[in-house]
Structure 1
Amino acid sequence: MQQRLLDRVTKVVLPKNEFLITEGRVCRHLYFIEQGSVRGFYNLEGKEITHWFGFENDFVTSFHSFITQEPAVENIQLMEGCVLWSISKEALEELLNEYHEAERLIRIAYEKYYIRLEERFVNAQFRTASELYENLLQRSPHIIERVPLGYIASYLGISQETLSRVRSRL
C-alpha cells in the first residue's frame, strides 16, 4: 500500500502567501503539510475572517468543497513557505477502494477537522476574550510563535486592539 500511496501523491513546494484554494473554485486535492503553515479564512464584507490554522502533520483542504465538489466558500493561504503532499480526490478514492485500512487515515483527518469546528463553536459562544487567548496559549502555544497577531485576533473573533489589551494584562 505504501508504494501505491507514493505513486498517487505529488510533492508541492510553495512560497509564503500562495493560495491552495480560493473561494469560488472547486477544491480537488487533499494536502498533507510536511513543513510550513497555512490558514483558512472567509471574506466577509471586505474583512478576512480566519477560522483555522494548519501546521506540520496536518491534513488540510476545503473539506466541504473537496467532499461535495462544489465551489469553496473559503480560502487557504500559506503563512510560511510550505512543503506539502497532494492527492487528488479521484486518486484518494481509488486508494480507499483498494486498501480499506487507508480509510482510518482519512477518518482521523475528518475527526481532527470536526473537533476543530466544535472547539471554534464553543469558544465563540461561551468564552471571554481573555479566556480565548489563555486557552490558545495553553493548548496551542506554537500558534503565538508562528502566526501574525492580526490573524490570531481574527481567529479568536476579537479586534487586534482587544488582543493587545488582553496580552498586556497577562
Structure 2
Amino acid sequence: MKLMGTNVFAYINRFVELTDAERKVLRQQIQIMTCVPKQVLTNIGELEQHTYFIEKGLVRKYFYRGQEEITVQISKEGQLISSSVSFLSGVPSDFVIETMEPCTLAFITKSGMETLYEYSVKFEKMGRLIILEWMLLKEKTDTFRMISSPKERFSQFIRENPDLLSRVPQKYLASLLDVKPETFSRFKKQYILNGEE
C-alpha cells in the first residue's frame, strides 16, 4: 500500500483541523490505489463500500437508460466520487463508477469511516460537513440544469472546468450537461473560434 497523499489532508482541513493523533488514525484508514483507464470501481447492483478522493486523473459516474450511458458526474483532481446513496444507506448502487484516465485514488471504506466516527466526534463533524457540501452542490447543479438553457450550461461548465474540454470525450460532456451532441459540438466550435481555448 502506498502512502496517503497530502492532497487528502488539504481537502479535510477545509472542514476540520486535526491533531497529530487524529491524523495518524486517519492515515491508518485511508489507502491509495492506482488504476488504468476504463477500470470499473463500482458497478450497478453492487453495494458501494468506498468513497474515493482523486489525487490524479478523472473518474466518471453514470447509469444506463436502455443502452445509453447517462453521465451524471465527472470528478477530477481534488474532488470526491462515490455511489453516495449506496455508500450512506447500504442499498445497491444504481450507478457505474469508472476511471477515464490513469488515476491515483485515495479511498476509505465504509467500515474505515465508522472506525473514525467511533474514535473522535471531530471525525463525525468532518463526515457531516462533507456530506452537507455534497448535498448543497448536487442541489445547486440539478437546479441549474433544470432552469438554464443548453448554452448557459455549456458556458458555465467551461468557465469552471476549461481543462475538461480537452480531457473528456465530447459525448460524455454532452451527456453530463444534458445537451444534444450536435448542439454541444456547435457550442465548442464557437468557443474555439472566439479564441477562448
Any residues of structure 2 matched to 1:32-43 within 5 Å, and which? Answer: 32-43=53-64
Q: Decide which moves more: 12-21 or 142-151.
A: 142-151
CA distance in 2: counterparts of 1:131 and 1:49, whole angstroms: 20
CA distance in 1: counterparts of 2:124 and 2:57, whole angstroms: 25
Write out per-residue CA displacement over residues 12-40 of structure 1, whole angstroms, 9 at most, x where no aligned residue.
11111101101110001111111111011
| Letter of the 1:143 counterpart | L
Q: 1:132 to 1:66 in 2, by over 3 A?
A: same
Write out per-residue CA displacement over residues 91-150 of structure 1, whole angstroms, 9 at most, x where no aligned residue.
111111212222343234323322332133223311111111111112222322321111
Q: Given the alignment of the two structures, is residue 109 of structure 1 paired with residue 130 of structure 2, yes or no?
A: yes
**What is the aligned partner in structure 2 of residue 29 from structure 1?**
50
Percent of residue pairs bearing the same amino acid type: 26
| Letter of the 1:69 counterpart | G
Write out per-residue CA displacement over residues 17-70 of structure 1, whole angstroms, 9 at most, x where no aligned residue.
101101110001111111111011111111000011111121221100001111
RMSD: 1.5
Q: Which runs of 5+ in 1 are unaligned?
A: none
**What is the aligned partner in structure 1 of residue 166 from structure 2?**
145
Contact 1:39 1:54 in 2 (8 A): yes
**What is the aligned partner in structure 2 of residue 58 from structure 1?**
79
For residue 80 of structure 1, the aligned residue among 101, 106, 126 is 101
Q: 1:58 to 1:105 in 2, by over 3 A?
A: farther
CA distance in 2: counterparts of 1:81 and 1:111, whole angstroms: 29
CA distance in 2: counterparts of 1:36 and 1:108, whole angstroms: 25
Q: What TM-score, normalized to structure 2?
A: 0.80
For CA contacts below 8 A with separation 6 or more, give which structure has more relative contact order. 1
CA distance in 2: counterparts of 1:15 and 1:146, whole angstroms: 15
For residue 20 of structure 1, the aligned residue among 38, 41, 49 is 41
CA distance in 1: counterparts of 2:161 and 2:63, whole angstroms: 22
Residue 163 of structure 2: SS of its match in structure 1? Answer: helix
Q: Given the alignment of the two structures, is residue 89 of structure 1 paired with residue 130 of structure 2, yes or no?
A: no
CA distance in 2: counterparts of 1:103 and 1:51, whole angstroms: 28
Q: Given the alignment of the two structures, is residue 67 of structure 1 paired with residue 88 of structure 2, yes or no?
A: yes
Contact 1:35 1:55 in 2 (8 A): yes
Q: What TM-score, normalized to structure 1?
A: 0.92
After TM superposition, where is structure 1 displaced by more than 6 Å over at least 4 residues in a row?
none
For residue 188 of structure 2, the aligned residue among 150, 155, 167 is 167
**What is the aligned partner in structure 1 of residue 178 from structure 2?**
157
Aligned residues, how many? 170
